[in-house]
Chain A
Amino acid sequence: MSNELEISLYVLVLAVPLGLELVRRVSPLLHTPLMSLTNAISAISVVGAILVSGTGTVPLLSKVLGTIAVMFATINIVAGFLITDRMLKMFKKKETPGK
């Protein structure tokens, strides 16, 4: 097993329990925003898409696929963060007077 792979596996085995612990603490109140936020976050895959479409030496097919991937990931980033914030804005503790 290569060194690179070993480090990646360590990262994975630490990230999964961390994720489970973090998400367990999220109030059920916010489970819908949680899902839209994690969708936005995992659209960080845009990083991989940029690398494969922007690199000089790749074949055209890979470039095209990568560029389409950049677009879809960007949709998720933009829509995910915006709608999460739109939902969270609505959660208020006390009713504002006069409403």
Chain B
Amino acid sequence: MNDSFWQAAYVIAALCVVYSIKWLSSPVTARRGVRVGEFGMLLAVIGTLLRHEVMSYQWIFVAFVAGAAVGAPLAYLMPMTSVPQLTALSHAFGALAAALVGSAEYYKDVAAGDPTTGAKMAAIVIESLLGYLTTTASVMAFGKLQEIVPTRPMTYKGQNFVNLILFAFAAVLGVWMIATPTPGWVFPTFTGLSLVFGVLLIMPIGGGDMPTVIALLNSYAGAACAAMGFALGNRLLIIAGALNASSGFILSVIMCKAMNRSFTNVLFGAFGQATGGSAVQASTKPVRSATAEDAASILESARRVIVVPGYGMAVAQAQHKLRELSDSLTKRGVQVDFAIHPVAGRMPGHMNVLLAEADIPYDKMHEMEDINPDFAEADVALVIGANDVVNPAARHDKNSPIYGMPILDVDKAQTVMVIKRSMNPGFAGIDNELYYEDKTLMLFGDAKTFLGEIVKALNANK
């Protein structure tokens, strides 16, 4: 087959990839974005299979079938609450694919008696480092999300020092390989160091920082793909990788801002240790609690209700009950909106997906900046399974570990209702002064059951 065929296919595929992300900007065009992305992928694969260099097909097809056989069930069977885990796995797979191709390229050139050096080797070194590191790091992130690996930060003395030494050693080997052909043990050692480094990188990171980490790993996986493009002289890969890398980068910056943390702080900070001080002393103060019937009558007489869902709501699988409540209130002429903090959920945008799954229309979901001024006009702010993102201490308590973090201003509403299992502090282990305010009603119980009772009480009042 003529070279110009696959070259043209690659150029069109690159255009498809760009428009795929462009159309994702709005929910109206988003599915078109997926279609065009799929089309681009198909073109790229067919174009490649028709290249005259590619001569043996049987194993490639076996790999296609195996990959599809694993991928399709993953996509269809994964519950929406587990999308962060699936995403972490995808980062691992994508990064591993890139890293393996890097290794394959390396051994291909060694076997040809022409060990690579210079620019191509530099690309292979970066591709392998990022690829292998991201693979193990993503597997660790998966473990933490799935709670197979302890979600608490694991730290030991001199941790950053050990990491630094390891990284320096890998860097020296990398530079050596770029400069001149090296003995046989260097590349495998480099690979091993990259794998170990990935594990060490995630160990000290707490479960609460997972949204940032996932976004960052997304970026690394993309960068590995772009590096592969350099190693192979393939610009389609450079474009796709660069888009993925910049996407992951922006998302992790957004996540960092939403938690008022810096990159270095997330990676080397070990969040969990800073807490403790203010956590215990306040918990004997009195709180006002209420029953489902009380809550129902207050909600019913409200004009405007803003719901603040947190990950606790998702864990309790309360989305569908929440929609029933929202429907029931809307029918009574109450305006119901949903306020979504950027770090609600376990990855960027996760909460929106969970609410969408429960058929809550997306024009009712509002970002923090857009909805915050509205809390002052709201009669009720209903907080479900969220804690730190509504803690007013973030605004004024300089000693609080979450000081400076942007929060949802629920305390500006007339009445605040908090559905919570018990008075136990949230993920960061910080007490929340919001619970002790006069305008706050605590609704103790499982989110799903409690919402069900409120709906029942509402319907009984009819």
Query: Footprint of B on A, CB under 8 Å?
Result: 1-2, 4-5, 7-8, 11-12, 15-20, 22-59, 61-63, 65-95, 99
Contact = CB atoms under 8 A, between A and B. Distances in A.
Interface string B105-125: 101100110000001000000
Interface string B226-267: 101111111111111111111111110010000000000000
Interface string B361-403: 1110101000000000000000000000000000000000000
Contact of B57 (A25, A32, A54): A54
Interface in B2-40: 13, 17-18, 20-22, 24-27, 30-31, 33-34, 37-38, 40
Among all A-B residue pairs, the 5 with the closest Cβ atoms: A74-B67, A31-B349, A78-B71, A19-B246, A82-B75
A53 B97 CA distance: 12
A59 B81 CA distance: 43
25 contacts: A28-B340, A35-B214, A37-B34, A41-B20, A42-B222, A44-B236, A45-B240, A45-B241, A47-B237, A50-B45, A50-B60, A55-B53, A58-B111, A66-B100, A70-B64, A74-B67, A75-B67, A76-B71, A76-B93, A78-B71, A82-B72, A87-B83, A87-B356, A91-B30, A99-B359
**B interface majority secondary structure:** helix
A44 B226 CA distance: 10
B24 A26 contact: yes
Given A50-B49, A95-B359, A67 B246 contact: no
A99 B390 CA distance: 32
B361 A26 contact: no
B377 to A, nearest CB: 23
Given A26-B24, A31-B352, A56-B53, 15 more contacts: A17-B246, A22-B18, A23-B21, A28-B349, A31-B347, A32-B87, A32-B353, A41-B21, A42-B244, A51-B48, A51-B51, A54-B55, A74-B66, A74-B68, A78-B67
Nearest to B65: A74
Given A12-B242, A54-B60, A65 B104 contact: yes
A30 B30 contact: yes
A79 B221 CA distance: 16
A5 B231 CA distance: 10
B94 interface: yes
B116 to A, nearest CB: 13
Contacts of B93: 43, 72-73, 75-76
Contacts of A27: 25-27
Interface of B: 13, 17-18, 20-22, 24-27, 30-31, 33-34, 37-38, 40-41, 44-45, 48-49, 51, 53-57, 59-60, 62-64, 66-68, 70-72, 74-76, 78, 80, 83, 86-87, 90-91, 93-94, 96-98, 100-101, 103-105, 107-108, 111-112, 119, 214-215, 218, 221-222, 225-226, 228-251, 254, 327, 340, 342, 347-350, 352-353, 356-357, 359, 361-363, 365, 367
Given A33-B24, A90-B356, A84 B34 contact: yes
Contacts of B70: 71, 75, 78-79
B34 A85 contact: yes
A19 B218 CA distance: 14
Given A22-B21, A45-B94, A66 B101 contact: yes
